[in-house]
Structure 1
Amino acid sequence: MRLRFARYGLVLLLAGVAGFAQSASQDIKNAGRDAKDAAKETGQATAKTTKHAARRVKHTTKKVVHKSAEETQKGADKVKEKTQ
């Protein structure tokens, strides 16, 4: 009986050491994957933000151009009225 418990204890001890060695290696692999995933997410967020900013710039530029054209037309109408 004592021998059986000793063997079980030894097996559990060795299994624990082997499990620890594998988990350290796996932790390093997981850290690499996490870093890769974080880089991907950062890239996607950057792309999304850039796309949004570009759309807003386009929209604002159109507003400015139309407003400028409107004001130019008003000025042209005033000159036309004065010359008639």
Structure 2
Amino acid sequence: MRTALLSILLLTAGSMAVPAQVKQDMKNAGEDTKDAAKAGAENTENGTKKAARATKHGVKKGTHKTATATEKGADKVAGKTDTAK
């Protein structure tokens, strides 16, 4: 009788520990998901900023090249006379 009672007690205590572990596992999974989403958002933000800086640099470089080429072209034509009448 004592053995049967002890067995029932151990089985009952063991089954009570399982839901607590499942709850903790679910909590950890939720935190992991939150952390992954946060890291993904930060990476997207950094990538967007990097792309914006690169675009800004490219536009400035292109504008400068265009201005320099226009100035060179104007200098080449400045000394020539217009012969077409």
Which is richer in helix? 1
Alignment of 1:29-68 (within 5 A): 29-68=27-66
Residue 80 (structure 1) shift: 0.4
TM-score, normalised relative to structure 1: 0.80
> TM-score, normalization: structure 2?
0.79
Instruction: Return the letter of the residue paired with 1:58.
Output: K
Aligned residues: 81
Matched to 2:20, the amino acid is Q
| CA shift for structure 1 position 11 | 4.5
Question: Structure 1 regions of 5+ residues with no counterpart?
Answer: none
Root-mean-square deviation over aligned CA pairs? 2.0
Look up the SS of the partner of 1:82 in the other structure.
Answer: coil
Task: Output the amino acid matched with 1:54.
Answer: A
Match of residue 23 from structure 2: 25
C-alpha distance in 2 between matches for 1:29 and 1:37: 12
Report the secondary structure of 1:51's partner residue. helix
| 1:14 Cα deviation from its structure 2 partner | 2.9
User: Quick one: percent identity of the two aligned structures?
Assistant: 47
Matched, 1:14 2:8: no
Task: Please list the CA deviations of residues 9-60 of structure 1 after superposition, one character each: whole Å capped at 9, or x if unmatched.
Answer: 5454333212211111112212211111111111100000001101110111
Letter of the 1:45 partner, please give it.
N
